[in-house]
Structure 1
Amino acid sequence: MISGGSDSPRFAYKADRLKPLRAFCQTARLGSVSRAAEALYVSQPAISLQLQALERDMGVRLLERSGRRMTPTREGQILYELARPLVEGLDGLDAAFRDQIGGLDAGELHVAAGSSTILYLLPKIVAAFREHHADVRLSLHNVTGASGLDLLRSDAVDLAVGSMLDVPGDLSYAPVYRFEPMLIAPRGHPLADKRDLKLEDLSPYGLILPPKRLTTYRLVDLVFQQNRVPYTVALEVGGWEVIKQYVAMGLGVSIVTSICLTDADRERLAARSLAKYFPSRSYGVVMRKGKFLSPQARAFVDLIKPDLFVRGGYDETGHSER
């Protein structure tokens, strides 16, 4: 066996290095030797032996116990980030090879997205994907928040499309579109044509907002609090379509993202930009770091680009598309 210098790791099992690395990656990902054993359909002692061998040959401690979980050490995190794409790439080699041989005319694609994304952003993207890959079975999972992230982490979906404010360390987020915040009010409302609209001008009017648990409500509350402007909530209700309908009925005004405003909405509602006070909202692709994307998933991601969607948004350079 040819070995490196004195500072190089010495692997006694170079012909079978994949098993210990796979055991390490699963343990680091799942936080448990027993769960890693279940995922790999081997015994717990086998996983423990592979981890011990890997730590011995790397010459450093790779895992440590934190509460009830096994977590990577500083050195273990580095190895995890290096090894995970290699392990997943090898594990997915057969499927990737079959996909390349068979083209994109077979297989499945699972995408997680919230209601707003499915309703306003994805229709043209899905239509373009179906036009070119009609035989791929596409499933859109209507989920938001932590539920969508759980699906990503468990590999129940290939990717997610939506908006993120805080990105966890194990996920990657590539924003593609940006949409500005808008005040919507009934036609003829005092705010509809008010010059130099200020945040204080909204105080006398009740707001129709999504439920408190959602990001939009929290963001609205934060902006009003930071500017020390009082406000009242006339109604909490879920769904942009419902909110727009209630605003059109004269039950209040609302603050929405321009992604949900159609040409028909602008005929029945007055829309005013609030970009001076509220940040724009980005929408893009969310993936698990190190995730091996199938050709179907890569083709779908390639379609998520600004020139396919040109209504009331901004591309990734920040230029308005309206």
Structure 2
Amino acid sequence: MKLQQLRYVVEIVRQGNHLSAAAEALNTSQPGVSRQIQLLEQELGFDIFVRTRNRIVDLTEPGRRVLEIAQRMLGDMSALRSLKEEISMPRGGTLTVGVTHTLARYVLPPAVEKFLNAHPDVHLILRRGDPEEICKMVEAGEADFSIGAQTMNQFPELVTLPCFELPRSIIAKTGHPILDAPELTLADVAAQRMIAYDTHYSGQWQVMNVFGHARLPVNVVLSAIDGDVCKSYVAMGLGVAIMTAVAYDPERDIGIGMRDASKLFPPSIINLTLKPNGNMRPYMFDFIALVAPQLTPKVVKTAMKSRLARAA
């Protein structure tokens, strides 16, 4: 049994059971990944994956336990590497943070600047993905922690702490009637052509739930995963967008305007997510405190210990 085989199991699940995508992410060949999984299953004596016509479609029940163990072992290996850095480089090291585009582009730059000035010997890596992808990075030991919007699915093996909330707004081309309507209603917004985030991004599923509960159909003409892309098409007059207010910059976003929509839609809740058994170095707590001052080392450590106690 090889650790690399367990890494393949985790990556296949992370890629939605697509062998080719997993192989690409692991910089190896699809036949090689398939062969290693088969060897692991032969050694264990049971199937890890459910297959239909030689295609992986799901995990078996024993496979789910294999996944949990694999994630834990890979996380422990990541903690060992972090410990090695801590001993060999007491003042420096590497910090990998999973982040969404909105946070990386509009929220984190001031914190990143302060952090790098305070910790010149630390190599900071920002790995971008949707809220669920960055949580999976933490699960797989590919990120020390993640900072992103609330996810549709739960990650019970991780510690999740709220950082802050981002209110939502309506973005439209300058001169659009919705920007000057005396009273903004949900029906007014639903009647517009919509430029929307993909539902996995920025808590967009929460926005769509509001329309669904009100039984108002929405005409989404274009979906994107990048706020800047959404604003480009809004500026062309192709539709309006519902975005977090922080994503709008009146000095840079020429040709578009913003209107507060916090009374119509819930805010985007931004969470810190990390492993309960992660090896947290002092500079990691410093980064967290720059983003969410209320999340002191004591608060984070207490949450981590509490999660471990529940799992015992």
Same fold, TM-score > 0.5, yes or no:
yes
CA RMSD of aligned residues (A): 3.7
Bigger drift between 243-252 and 142-151 goes to 142-151
Give 2:139's match in structure 1, choosing from 153, 162, 165: 153
State the match for 2:281 in structure 1. Answer: 294
Aligned partners of 1:194 and 1:264: how far apart in 2? 23
State the match for 2:307 in structure 1. Answer: none
State the match for 1:200 in structure 2. Answer: 187
Structure 1 residue 240 displacement after superposition? 0.7
Aligned partners of 1:244 and 1:157: how far apart in 2? 29
Unaligned runs of 5+ in 2: 1-5, 11-59, 67-74, 295-312
Bigger drift between 264-273 and 237-246 goes to 264-273
Q: Residues 28-47 of structure 1, C-alpha deviation per residue, up to 9 Å, x if partnerless?
A: xx9xxxxxxxxxxxxxxxxx
State the match for 2:244 in structure 1. Answer: 257
Q: Residues 55-103 of structure 1, C-alpha deviation per residue, up to 9 Å, x if partnerless?
A: xxxxxxxxxx9534548xxxxxxxxxxxxx9x99x9689648627xx64
Instruction: Give the percent of matched residue pairs that are identical in Structure 1 and Structure 2.
Output: 24
Unaligned runs of 5+ in 1: 1-25, 31-64, 72-84, 308-322
How many pairs does the alignment contain?
237
Contact conserved, 2:149 with 2:202, CA < 8 A, in 1?
Answer: no
| Letter of the 1:191 counterpart | I
State the match for 1:109 in structure 2. Answer: 95
Bigger drift between 268-277 and 156-165 goes to 268-277
Contact conserved, 1:209 with 1:243, CA < 8 A, in 2?
Answer: yes
State the match for 2:292 in structure 1. Answer: 305
Give 1:143's match in structure 2, choosing from 109, 112, 129: 129
Give 1:98's match in structure 2, choosing from 87, 106, 113: 87
Give 1:242's match in structure 2, choosing from 212, 217, 229: 229
Aligned partners of 1:229 and 1:69: how far apart in 2? 39
State the match for 2:160 in structure 1. Answer: 173
Contact conserved, 2:86 with 2:93, CA < 8 A, in 1?
Answer: no
| Rg larger for | 1
Cα distance 1:197–1:227, how it changes in 2: closer, same or farther (>3 A)? Answer: same
Give 2:260's match in structure 1, choosing from 260, 273, 276: 273
State the match for 1:67 in structure 2. Answer: 62
| Letter of the 1:273 counterpart | D
Contact conserved, 1:164 with 1:173, CA < 8 A, in 2?
Answer: no
| Letter of the 1:180 counterpart | P
Bigger drift between 211-220 and 106-115 goes to 211-220
